[in-house]
Amino acid sequence: MLKVYGVAQSRAFRALWMAEECGVAYEHVPTHFQTDAKQPDYLAINPNGRIPAIDDDGVIVWESMAVNLYLAKKYGKALGPKDLAEDAHASQWSFWVMTEVEKPLLNALFARTGMMGAKKDDAEAELLFGELKKPLEVLDRQLAQSPYLLGDRFTVADLNVASVLSWAQMGGFDLAPWTRVSAWLTGCLSRPAAAKARGGR
């Protein structure tokens, strides 16, 4: 049976959300990033000592976006790409959110909340969030063309991008200037599978 390693209060939320969307039977193996992920048995699964990772009957995958692209293609039916062009675009948006959005947004969230030992500083948080204007503009323009990133249906591309942008909601950052992003993100994060994954089952 598919095993998903991680805890919901981390990037493993993405993989748990995807597993829930797929409706596949899976075992959630609670693995805390500061403790369990550093133990030899977990390092044999992900030598980086990070979560999430999956073990799908012996197919081990780590890196959250790779995990989700695999799950979508194997179990996701309409959540996965239907042809090579969609496959390329699902990868494109997944790599994009990791390279253009993830780090500045996480730093902004840490400054906002004081998480992970960061100094709580709202001015700094807003400054860091300001670095995201360009990518948010890009996303907003895409969403002017189609309701979801690959077209008319919710796919792994939306899930991967929305899972990173969920930190903007968590940090209370104002997405109102990007009206389409704001509405799309609320829609994605309100999906029942997202709520179930957040529950950390």
Listed in sequence order, the residues at least 6 apart from 48 whose beta carbon sits closer than 8 Å to its beta carbon are: 62
- Binding of ligand GSH by 10 (CB under 6 A): yes
- Angle value at C-alpha 96, between 92 and 99, nearest 5 degrees: 140
CB of 176 to ligand GSH, least distance (A): 27
Stretch near ligand GSH under the rule CB under 6 A, chosen from 50-58, 116-124, 136-144, 176-184: 50-58
Among 5, 64, 128, 167, which residue interacts with ligand GSH (rule: CB under 6 A)? 64
CB of 38 to ligand GSH, least distance (A): 7
Site string for ligand GSH, 114-133 (x = CB under 6 A): --------------------
Candidates 72, 57, 70, 56; CA nearest to 22 is 72
For ligand GSH, which is the closer residue by CB, 11 or 28? 11
Candidates 4, 47, 2; CA nearest to 28 is 4
- Binding of ligand GSH by 182 (CB under 6 A): no
Separation CA 20–CA 13 (nearest Å):
10
- Binding of ligand GSH by 37 (CB under 6 A): yes
- Binding of ligand GSH by 36 (CB under 6 A): no
Q: First CA to last CA across the chain, in angstroms?
A: 16
Element (H, E) at 179: helix 179-189
Please report, as ranges, the residues that interact with ligand GSH according to CB under 6 A. 10-11, 33, 37, 49-52, 63-64
